[in-house]
Chains A and B, each alone.
Chain A
Amino acid sequence: MMNIVVLLKQVPDTTEMKIDKEKGTLIRAGVPTITNPDDLAGLEAALQIKDRQGAKVTCVTMGPPQAESMLRELYALGADECVLISDGKFGGADTWATSNTLGAYLATIPYDLIIAGRQAIDGDTAQVGPQTAEKLNLPQITYVDEILSISEEKIRVRKALENRYEILESEMPCLITTLSSIAKPRYMHVREIMKAFDKPVTVITNEHLQLEQKDIGLKGSPTKVKKTFTKEVHKNSDVLTLEPKLAAAKILDVLLENQFIGK
């Protein structure tokens, strides 16, 4: 049977995010966490393959201990096994250090296909997928919005680019990154939610992986955050309340005055 591994991340819901304008930092307290949308769509794509032709779907996340709550939900959706890679030593990792850690773990388990969401909504980097492929020396296809066919030898997908689609084929094993448009996530079954709490979540620490400090976590990360800040409001606008007809006339005036439109 085919082994599909899905990489997922628990992220703060950025649409609910609040900012401390004084300090230029995020206020994380009280912000709900969700499963990163591109990752969840990737899991759905994996579950559809499982439904159609049979496969074992393993979900892997790296994060703090509370990410276990996400993995329980993934069990309820239909994941066969869930793994939490968690250790204080892994914290604060940039994408290079993250992919070292993920790669080291993935090298110890069987896989035919690895699916990662294209990018996470907190960091928006889209780097962990390709960098993990590099660590595992796997071919990669990014920005996948449809899986056309899959067997143990080959996968055929559609990749969405700026002005075109490409139909690509890769030998297996391989790693793909998925767009959220690839599949609409299913709902959890109540019965499965109950069962999800009885299923074991495998926790992997650096005791298992034995990685050197220089390759992981904040210390091992070549990129460092020098500072963070929020956007300042920069223009003083003229806000007018006018009758619709006068408003339209005002816009026309502005367009003509500034020669944005020709006479």
Chain B
Amino acid sequence: MNIQDYKDLYVFIEHEENKIHEASLELLGEARRLKEDRPSLNYQVVAVLLGEVSEDLLFELAARGADETVYLHHNKLNEYSTLHYTHLLHQMIEERKPDIFLIPATVLGRDLAPRLAARCDTGLTADATKLEFDPENPDSSLLYVTRPAFGGNLFGTIINETKRPQMTTIRPGVMDKMQRNPALTGKVSMQDVSLDGLKDPVSILEVLKKDHMAVDIAKADILISGGRGVGDRFDLLRECADMIGAEVAGSRAAVDEGRIEKDYQVGQTGKTVKPKVYIACGISGAVQHLAGMEKSDYIIAINKDPDAPIFQVANIGLVGNALEILPLLTKEIRNYRERPS
């Protein structure tokens, strides 16, 4: 393997029902940032998409930062298959030799990336939260990949000096999307691929929607989140949330105690959220929880224990019982809204 032959920043595009997955838009934004960060490399941002999508979606990729889109076209590829995707992407990597290949750390991405990295005999770093080029060598394309481990207690910076591509999956909700720029145009390299002779012993028999998944907490502007201190009174959080147009989330403790569904869990083993306001109620602030919410724009914490670690990341902290304060807050807001004008 001659490492010098490998170049450019590749991003795997996950899409569903002709819409680009948010996490892939974030990776395009991040790839663009990296490219601009080290212009001496003269790298392009290349989006890689498998399946069949509309022309509009291809334009959208350009407007979101892709200089080129490698479009491996086949209508059957809209349905994900580990082995088909691995085969086709491995082929693409052999031909085009990407230096860096970023894949969203979604369920699909975390199924695909390890398999593909093993097929390419290269290293893979999982669920990264920060990327930067080697800060010590201004011309190097060596990627420093930082990720949390041990439940968010520790961070590690991982490098891969010997194999290419440098592959990593990136945690959704952490990187910033690029502002949409319709003036940008990108090249589309479309290739009709054949699935002849390819077999995946795994088949999808049925897809069941989770009915309570109407809300994605990662997209909420305001989150009211409850921990062990809330006990079984999540109804108080919901009432307040309804009043201000917020969504309700919970800590791992609340999920473990069955107070709220796993899909609403914030933290290292749940979701990473960056709302405008995060209101933490009865959450002490274990490291693994902070890992999922500390990038929120503004954090309000309510906890009985004045020494709770949650106060260290909060913009404002209130020592007290969330179960007493929240209903009063709901009432205050109602009074305010209904005030005589």
Interface residues of A (CB under 8 A from B): 12, 14-15, 17, 19, 24-26, 94-96, 99, 121-131, 133-135, 139-143, 156, 158-171, 174, 181, 221-231, 233-235, 237-242, 244-245, 247-252, 254-256, 258, 260-261, 263
B328–A244 CB distance below 8 A: yes
- Would you give the 0/1 interface string for B63-81, flagging 1 where the beta carbon is closer than 8 Å to chain A? 0000000000000000000
Find out whether the CB atom of A171 lies under 8 angstroms from the CB atom of B207.
no
4 A-B pairs closest in CB distance? A222-B123, A248-B328, A14-B151, A223-B123
Task: Provide the bound-state CA to CA distance between A129 and B148, in Å.
Answer: 20
B149: A residues at CB distance < 8 A: 122-124
Could you list 24 examples of A-B contacts with CB < 8 Å? A15-B151, A24-B154, A121-B150, A123-B126, A124-B149, A125-B126, A127-B110, A131-B114, A134-B86, A140-B111, A140-B115, A140-B202, A164-B213, A166-B204, A181-B262, A225-B158, A227-B157, A231-B287, A234-B313, A235-B314, A240-B317, A248-B326, A252-B332, A261-B222
With a CB–CB cut-off of 8 A, which chain B residues contact A261? 222, 244-245, 333
Contacts of B138 in A (CB 8 A): none
With an 8 A cutoff between CB atoms, is B96 at the interface? no
Q: Is the CB of B156 within 8 A of A225?
A: yes
Number of interface residues of B (CB under 8 A): 94
Q: Is the CB of A168 within 8 A of B325?
A: no
Given A14-B150, A233-B313, A254-B316: A96 touches B118 (CB 8 Å cut-off):
yes
Which residues of A are found within 8 Å of B59, using beta-carbon distances?
none
* A residues in contact with B148, CB < 8 Å: 124
**Contact (Cβ within 8 A) B317 A171:** no
| Chain B residues within 8 Å of A, Cβ to Cβ | 82-83, 86, 106-108, 110-111, 113-115, 117-119, 121-127, 144, 148-163, 200-210, 213, 216, 221-222, 244-245, 262-263, 268-269, 276-277, 279, 286-288, 290-291, 294, 298-302, 306, 311-321, 324-326, 328-329, 331-333, 336
> What's the nearest-Cβ distance from chain A to residue B121, in Å?
8
Candidate in B83, B201, B207 with the most chain A CB atoms within 10 angstroms: B201
Which of A241, A245, A251 is close to B306, meaning CB atoms less than 8 Å apart? Answer: A241
Residue on B nearest A260 in the bound complex, by CB:
B277
Q: Which residues of B contact A260 (CB under 8 A)?
A: 221-222, 276-277, 298
A127 touches B124 (CB 8 A): yes
Q: Given the known inter-chain contacts A99-B118, A247-B318, A251-B300, please indicate yes or no for A139 contacting B313, CB distance below 8 A.
A: no
A258 B210 Cβ-Cβ under 8 A: no
| Chain A residue with Cβ nearest B275 | A260
Please give the distance in Å from A171's CB to the nearest CB on chain B. 4
Shortest beta-carbon distance from A107 to chain B in Å: 15
Q: Which residues of B contact A160 (CB under 8 A)?
A: 107
Q: What chain B residues lie within 8 Å of A95 (beta carbons)?
A: 114, 124, 126
CB neighbours (8 Å) of A161 from chain B are 107-108
Which residues from B are CB-within-8-Å of A229? 154-155, 157
Q: Cβ of B287: which chain A residues have Cβ within 8 Å of it?
A: 231
Known: A127-B126, A231-B287, A251-B329. 16 other contacts (CB 8 A): A17-B150, A26-B153, A131-B117, A139-B83, A142-B107, A142-B110, A143-B107, A163-B213, A164-B210, A222-B122, A223-B125, A237-B317, A248-B332, A254-B298, A260-B277, A261-B222
A15 to B205, CA, bound (A): 38
Q: Which residues of B contact A128 (CB under 8 A)?
A: 114
Closest B residue, CB atoms, query A155 = B202
**Is the CB–CB distance between B321 and A124 below 8 Å?**
no
> Please, which residues of chain A bring their CB within 8 A of the CB of B86?
134
Q: A124-B127, A238-B315 are in contact. Are A224 and B161 (CB under 8 A)?
A: yes
Instruction: Decide: A242 and B201 in contact? CB cutoff 8 A.
Output: no
Whether B213 and A14, one on each chain, are in contact in the complex, defined by CB atoms closer than 8 angstroms, is no
Most buried by B among A95, A128, A130: A130
Residue of A nearest to B112 (CB): A130
Query: Within 8 Å CB of A251, what residues of B?
Result: 279, 300, 316, 318, 325, 329, 332
Question: Which of chain A's residues have a CB closer than 8 A to the CB of B262?
Answer: 181
**Distance between Cα atoms of A128 and B210 in the complex (Å):** 28
Rounded to whole angstroms, the CA-CA distance of A231 and B312 in the bound complex is 12
Specify which chain B residues have a CB less than 8 angstroms from the CB of A165 in the assembled complex. Answer: 207-208, 210
Residues of A within 8 A of B306 (CB): 239, 241
CB <8 Å contact, B328 and A224: no
| Cβ B320 vs Cβ A244 within 8 A | yes
